[in-house]
Structure formats: C-alpha cells, structure tokens
Structure 1
C-alpha cells in the first residue's frame, strides 16, 4: 500500500474503517480482492509474485495492512513485506504479541497496521517499538505514521467527513480518487527524482507503467458485519474490476 487512512473506534457503529490505495507497477502479477481459496475466512488481494498481501481483513475480526518506507538508497530486504500481513491474518496471535515478534531486519523499510479486534497496533522497522493506538484517525503513506505529507493531511480531513456519512461509501472513494499533484514547494524529499516526487504526491497515482492498482474500503460494523469494497485499475488509471465482499463474524 502507498496510502492508508484508518478510523479506529472513531464511529459508534463502525469500530474499524480503512480507506487505502495500493500503488505498484502494473506489470506485477496480482489477484484481485476475494476470499482466499485456501483460507476463505480471509478477504483481500494477493501478490502473485511474492505470495503476500498489502491489505486483508478476516471474518474473525483480524485486519492487517502494510506500506513501504520510501528509501531508494537502502539495500532490499531478504523477505517480502507482504508476508507480514499474510502471516498475521493466518495466525491467532494477539496483535501486540505478533508485532513484538517481528524481526524487522529481514525486511526493507515498512509500516504495519494490525488489529485483532481488541487493539490497533502500529509497527515499523523505522520508527521504534510497536505501539497500541488510542481511538482516532490515522494516516500512513511511505514515511512514518501521520507524517505531514500534503496528500496524507488532505486524505485524513476528507476521511473524517466521509466517516460521518457511512454507510454511504462515496466520500471514501472520492478521497481515494484525488489526482491533485502537490506544488513543488510542498513536495516531500524522499530521494527519488523530482518527476517521481510529483507523480507520487497525488493520492491517486497514474502513469503508463506505475500507479494506483487498487482503491479499497474495508470496515467492521458493531453488529459483526465485515465488508471489503475494492476497485482495481490498470495503466493510466483505467478502471478494471470492482469487488464487494460482505459477511458476518
């Protein structure tokens, strides 16, 4: 994932709400969001190259999502970051216990959000020890939790408004579809060329070879319903498959 906004116990009827964009090269093989064939209680996409996932939610109340930390000069980790999310979704460990067992040295820079239904844990191998998050709205892109990047600040503001409109989902997909390019003076400096900083400054990224592959809204309702709604995209932002999976705990 390259942008995740999470509402944790910020709505009386929806204890967990997640809006996220996955940015990736279009050529990387991917399975769209669905129940996993081997573990049907888990819902999410699958990275067919490394076998993990960028975001998933389960009918047992578990949730996991990961973003990379943009650090082009660093050596690549030995393991895919997508296995962090997959392994958590397949386990029964409390989120805090799982996060504390993660060996961050095996991976390139990552930010990991984990929930077992009782806690929301933030874990990063670039930001100290894992920690439980109090109720609130949080944002991640390709730096650390709640880094004040322009697109993340705007997405959090729009998320707070959309949260009050549930079960109407339109506001979330509007924020995930924002293609506004940030002015050069406000761009973060992450070590990539200026043209890439511009491209990646939008919430919704599009080009011929790289961009937002999926926009996902996932939530848990207090009545036990779990829902994941994902729209996938191809080169230059062309809309492809739309998937909606809804079930009860």
Structure 2
C-alpha cells in the first residue's frame, strides 16, 4: 500500500518565526517611534540643533537712539556759536533783514541727550529801526546778529525774584520819544545786558567797549515802548519780569538774535 501523505506544516513554522520576531522587537523601540509609539522629530527640526556649520540667524538690531532736538530755524553755523555749556537760549528771530519786528522764544536744554525744548510761548518783540546787521556800528540803527552771553541785569525798579546779578539804580531813567512818537519813559525799568562789545559780568551801565566806541554798545533786552529801538531788543514789561524770573546764571544763558535768513545759516 502506498505510504500515507504527511500534511505540509510550513505555515505554522513561518507564523511561529514571525511571532518570535515580534516578541524580540517588542522590548525596544521601532525606528521612527518613541517608547509610547509616537513618531520622533527629524534631526534639524525646531528645537533640535542643526548640523555643524549651519549659518546662525542674526538677531534683529535695535533702532538707533533719536538725535537730540535742535532749536528750530537755526542753521549749523549759528548752532556752532552756542557754547556747549549753555542750557538756556533766548532766541529772537527778525521777520526780515530790514524789519524791526521779531518773535522771541526761550529754549532750555536740561537733558543733553534729549536736546532743546521751548520753555515759554513765543512773544512779540521789537529790534532796531533798520533791522539787522552782521557788523554793527554806532548809529547804524541796526541790531547785531549773533550769539551773545547774558550775565547781568538791572533797572530803575526793584527786580522780581531773579537769580541774576541785578543793579538797581536811578540811572536807568530814560526820557523822550521813540521813532513813532511813543514815550520812552519806563523802557529801562528792567533790562538785561547783551554781551555785545561789553565786559561780561558787569553792570549794564558799564560803558567799557572792548571793540571800540565806534562799534556801538549798550545793547540790552528792555521793556518795550511800542516801537523800534536803536539797537536793543524789547519785550513787554510782564515778559521782562517773566524772563528775569527764569533766567539762571548757572545755566549759562545766551541770546541768539538776528533775522530769520541769517540765523538759518
């Protein structure tokens, strides 16, 4: 008789081997899987350093600080004449080279990194009858253009509270009429000497003229009499009191004066 045929058991052997393979891998982590079965991140993704030699992304630069504020209307030549230590500047700007009408503004510079700011509102002012000049001479009826220190004050009346050296004297009396027939009386009740052709830190009544008498002198800020001056700058009496109250010798105040075109240079 023929031998009985043995059933083929290959599927069972293959299945057993496959189960053993799974059992052996179960104790580790499959490629691309973590222990919980989650997919791991690829090298170089966010939060994982890139390969050596990769270019670093530069940080965003901070914007540069704003430059200090300058006084409006002043050009580089005029600004260069303002002493580095000055922290108060009384700026008197004429309407034109031949005009006797001006606008005055006090600027302060308490923080050098911030720059200049207007400390008082603009005031109307008068200057000399014929306007302005870069080279003042006695009798030309023009106000000198430039930057000048302010170091002394005086007047016929008791001063308001002021830090300025103040010369109280009856010699500040003035009489007569101005160019438009207006009375001059009271114009020198309060004055601040402009250090043009004079010795700084002396009374406004000091007549010493370092440049010579022919170059004029006695250029002051004084009480306005309602018309043009012979060379001075004038503002109303209440403004004179206000100016005397805020000017501080410790802040090395200056006056910047001239027509708008000259000051813009």
Relative to the length of structure 2, the TM-score reads 0.24
Structure showing the higher strand proportion among its residues: 1
Structure showing the higher helix proportion among its residues: 1
Q: Which has the larger radius of gyration?
A: 2
